[in-house]
């Protein structure tokens, strides 16, 4: 970009020249007061333009000013100071897209084997949308190429926009044009000799060629030859051939498949192959497929929409170190994803454990889209077998592209520059794939560690709750046992001369025996506590391992450094001066990187799988331990509930005894039998006095002599004293309970159970 000028009076200043076209140039203008930037396209001097150029320029301005679409660069109002006088060639003001053009992206060395899949999908979506809009407005672009696609960041997302409609044709002016001076490498073949063409299909060829380059890093048809040179050879291809290349012996090879390496998953690769077969047909009449009259769209646009509707979940089978790709739609369930995994991995759905990078498992009630990330293409879901504890490096054979394998076997062989450039680019891409594979395993290890920590935390919390309730059970058991022992002892003392109930006392003995069994429950908790503590110590040790979070960077850096070295070698080769490219050189430096990468990958993978095995073993043991802890907690809570019921029932029994004794004392003191309601009648049947102290009716007593009456009064007084002692014994536990109410929660004493 050329240097800019000082700002004008209205605040606008030129930021430099950002582009040159066939008959115009594009300047950047900046207004800092308004915080605006515009791209201003101007014509060259009129003396440099013929009538055809002037007409084409005027047409572009006219077309641009009436277009409004997200994926077509927007024309704006020209600032007054920059506008031209009437009669002069118009100036075109457009939104400034700061991300540069697509050619700049494709030229980056790291993209030598194609763009990332997420970028390919974004480009395909945006260009298809913009092109469909132009065609629906009866406009063909005619000059689609990477230089005419610009990037703009909108809400942290890159949007691709079409620019430069200088060669665009408004179909209202007629459907056939025989004059064209465009960019030849992306032109439809029918335009080379100026023959008639069928309107929109010229854009299909250009779009297909451009997207193919985005996928593979090079154009589909003999890219090192000029269009004039390759036209005759490519014209011989079959309708469904999408690539023409030279073989090892300079023979022409026709292919129906996308060449490797590329960055697409197998699903997207197969879908785009079918789409390329439509877009790269030699016959323009069939190119793009038929038009759907209902949808008013060409088949190629419909097919692209269908492709983009699918999202791809990446799932790593950790045990086998195999990455699976599963196509889903918005309504796909997690169960369907797991069934697909079961079919591929032979791991039943019931045995699958899926983990996200956070260490959490996906929610089975939510759609499968929860396994996707809009902002991270490398977002992985990790698949483990639940009971699997033995992990070892599967040592699957690394795939080497044919040209890289040949280079590795013959490191000293001299290669011509074009062949070497292609081979080194593929070698760098292979090193990058190894670094990605290692990074995936590191992520799997981290997800497992996070899952283990959550599981261990749950186990510790459960253990603490068990211990807390177990301690409470011990205290309450001791209290109930002591109070029950006192009650039973006092009952035994008074029953020979007072109230008794064998049924009640039998129930008390049963309660006592059942409470005794709670001791065994407390002993089992001690064993569980020891196991949980031991496992927690193992988890802490695993956190201190070389693969803890703070150490992972060191492991990852080894592979990253090798990837960077391979990239640097490739960049140096690409920057080689043209006069030195005729000299052939060997590949020893790149081959050294390849072998170091292979060796380090094996060492690091072996270590990682050993660590994964330890994590899995610990995870399984904690998972197994959680069930007994939960069972113990339920048993303890049940025991506490039984204690509460026993205490409540015994207190009810005692107070019923008191009630019966009180009623009988009243009867004897008054000297007559009182009426007893339904409840008192039941109590009288259950709780009876000893026969030795049964009282006679009042009428009989009155008939006895004075000596017998005095004897009866004496006996009643004795009974009253025993009742007073019994009531006192009832009050002592209650007082003890009140004294300890601040220490222990005895709310269960207020509960009632019939």
Query: Other CB atoms closer than 10 Å to residue 483's CB: what's the count?
Result: 18
Cα gap 438→559, rounded to integer Å: 8
- Is 363 one of the annotated active-site residues of the chain? no
CB neighbour list of residue 665: distance below 8 Å, 6 or more residues apart: 716, 719, 720, 723
Select which of 119, 132, 143, 164 is catalytic: 143
Instruction: State whether residue 151 is helix, strand or coil.
Output: strand
Cα gap 45→42, rounded to integer Å: 9
- How many CA atoms lie within 13 Å of 110's alpha carbon, on the beta-carbon side? 7
User: Which phi-psi region, left, alpha or beta, contains residue 381 (left: φ > 0; alpha: ψ -120 to 50)?
Assistant: beta
Nearest-CA neighbor of 558 among 597, 531, 532, 503? 597
Cα gap 290→674, rounded to integer Å: 107
- Check: CB of residue 528 under 8 Å from CB of residue 628: yes
Nearest-CA neighbor of 1 among 32, 24, 25? 25
Cα gap 487→736, rounded to integer Å: 14
Cα gap 125→253, rounded to integer Å: 30
Query: Other CB atoms closer than 10 Å to residue 361's CB: what's the count?
Result: 15
User: Which phi-psi region, left, alpha or beta, contains residue 491 (left: φ > 0; alpha: ψ -120 to 50)?
Assistant: alpha
| Cis? peptide before 19, omega within 30° of 0 | no
Nearest-CA neighbor of 284 among 350, 188, 209? 188
Cα gap 98→78, rounded to integer Å: 19
Residues forming the active site? 143
């Amino acid at each position: 970009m050329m240097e800019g000028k000082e700002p004008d009076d209205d605040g606008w200043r030129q930021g430099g020249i950002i582009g040159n076209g066939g008959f115009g140039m594009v300047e950047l203008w900046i207004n800092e007061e308004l915080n605006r930037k515009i791209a201003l396209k101007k014509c060259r001097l009129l003396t440099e333009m013929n009538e055809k150029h002037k007409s084409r320029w005027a047409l572009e301005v006219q077309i641009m000013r009436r277009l409004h679409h997200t994926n077509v660069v927007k024309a704006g109002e020209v600032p007054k100071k920059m506008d031209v006088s009437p009669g002069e060639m118009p100036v075109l003001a457009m939104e400034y897209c700061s991300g540069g053009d697509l050619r700049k992206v494709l030229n980056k060395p790291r993209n030598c084997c194609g763009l990332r899949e997420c970028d390919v999908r974004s480009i395909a979506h945006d260009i298809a949308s913009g092109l469909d809009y132009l065609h629906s407005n009866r406009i063909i672009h005619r000059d689609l190429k990477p230089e005419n696609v610009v990037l703009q960041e909108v809400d942290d997302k890159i949007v691709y926009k079409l620019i430069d409609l200088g060669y665009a044709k408004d179909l209202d002016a007629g459907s056939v044009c025989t004059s064209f001076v465009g960019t030849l490498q992306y032109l439809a073949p029918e335009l080379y000799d100026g023959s008639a063409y069928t309107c929109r299909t010229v854009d299909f060829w250009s779009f297909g060629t451009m997207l193919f380059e985005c996928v593979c890093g090079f154009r589909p048809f003999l890219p090192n030859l000029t269009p004039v040179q390759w036209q005759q050879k490519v014209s011989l291809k079959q309708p469904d051939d999408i690539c023409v290349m030279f073989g090892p012996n300079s023979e022409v090879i026709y292919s129906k498949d996308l060449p490797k390496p590329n960055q697409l998953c197998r699903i997207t690769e197969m879908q785009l192959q079918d789409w390329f077969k439509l877009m790269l047909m030699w016959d323009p009449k069939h190119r793009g497929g038929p038009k759907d009259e209902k949808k008013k769209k060409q088949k190629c646009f419909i097919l692209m929409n269908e492709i983009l509707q699918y999202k791809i979940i990446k799932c790593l089978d950790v045990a086998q170190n195999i990455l699976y790709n599963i196509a889903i739609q918005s309504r796909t369930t997690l169960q369907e994803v797991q069934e697909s995994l079961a079919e591929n991995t032979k791991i039943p759905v019931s045995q699958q454990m899926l983990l996200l990078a956070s260490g959490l498992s996906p929610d089975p009630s939510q759609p499968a889209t929860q396994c996707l990330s809009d902002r991270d293409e490398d977002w992985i879901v990790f698949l483990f077998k639940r009971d699997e504890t033995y992990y070892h490096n599967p040592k699957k054979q690394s795939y080497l592209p044919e040209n890289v394998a040949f280079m590795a076997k013959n490191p000293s062989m001299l290669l011509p520059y074009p062949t070497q450039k292609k081979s080194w680019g593929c070698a760098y891409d292979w090193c990058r794939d190894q670094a990605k594979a290692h990074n995936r395993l590191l992520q799997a290890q981290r997800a497992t560690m996070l899952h283990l920590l959550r599981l261990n935390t749950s186990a510790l919390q459960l253990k603490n709750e068990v211990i807390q309730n177990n301690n409470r059970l011990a205290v309450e058991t001791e209290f109930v046992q002591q109070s029950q022992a006192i009650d039973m002892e006092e009952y035994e003392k008074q029953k020979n001369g007072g109230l008794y109930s064998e049924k009640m006392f039998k129930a008390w003995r049963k309660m006592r025996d059942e409470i005794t069994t709670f001791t065994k429950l407390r002993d089992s908790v001690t064993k569980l506590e020891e196991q949980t503590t031991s496992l927690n110590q193992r988890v802490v040790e695993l956190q201190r391992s070389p693969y803890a979070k703070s150490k992972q960077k060191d492991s990852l850096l080894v592979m990253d450094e090798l990837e960077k070295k391979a990239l640097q070698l490739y960049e140096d080769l690409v920057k080689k001066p043209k006069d030195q490219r005729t000299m052939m050189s060997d590949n020893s430096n790149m081959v050294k990187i390849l072998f170091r990468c292979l060796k380090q990958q094996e060492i690091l993978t072996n270590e990682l799988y050993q660590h994964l095995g330890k994590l899995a073993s610990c995870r399984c043991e904690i998972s197994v331990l959680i069930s007994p802890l939960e069972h113990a907690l339920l048993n303890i809570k049940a025991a506490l509930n039984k204690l509460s019921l026993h205490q409540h029932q015994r207190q009810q029994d005692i107070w019923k005894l008191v009630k019966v004794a009180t009623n009988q004392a009243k009867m004897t003191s008054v000297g007559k039998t009182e009426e007893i309601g339904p409840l008192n009648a039941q109590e009288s049947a259950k709780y009876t006095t000893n026969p030795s102290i049964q009282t006679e009716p009042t009428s009989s007593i009155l008939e006895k002599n004075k000596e017998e009456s005095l004897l009866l009064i004496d006996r009643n007084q004795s009974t009253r004293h025993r009742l007073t002692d019994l009531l006192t014994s009832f009050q002592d536990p209650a007082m003890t309970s009140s004294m300890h109410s601040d220490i222990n929660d005895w709310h269960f004493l207020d509960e009632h159970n019939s």
